[in-house]
Amino acid sequence: MSNDIAARVKKVTAVLLKVDESAIGDSSRFVEDLGAASIQSIELVAAFEEEFDIEMDEDEALAVKTVGDAVAFIGKTVAEQKA
């Protein structure tokens, strides 16, 4: 399950931030490593919500700094909302 989530998070991130998907690792930081501007961080939250059909707490979601953290956060949110 988490491999599927990781792949989808990387795909959405690559498209939105216009970065090569192969350059995105679990420890990649959205702002420092992938160049996300603050508006793009909000767009990423919205894109992840749409991709996974979930509602995320925006403050909690914006506190997520790395791709790996996003995968864990989304995985937890999916599990809670699909249960």
Read off the CATH number of the domain in which 29 is found.
1.10.1200.10
Full-model pTM: 0.92
Say if CB 30 and CB 43 are below 8 A apart. no
Q: Residue 50 phi/psi, 5° resolution?
A: -70, -45
Q: Tell me, what DSSP letter sits at residue 11?
A: H
Q: How far apart are CA 24 and CA 7, in angstroms?
A: 10
Strand partners, 66: 29
For residue 22, the enclosing domain spans 2-82
What percent of the chain lies above the pLDDT cut of 90? Answer: 90
Using the predicted structure, report yes or no on whether residue 1 has a pLDDT greater than 70: no
Number of domains composing the chain: 1
For 16-38, write each residue's pLDDT tens digit.
999 999 999 999 999 999 999 98
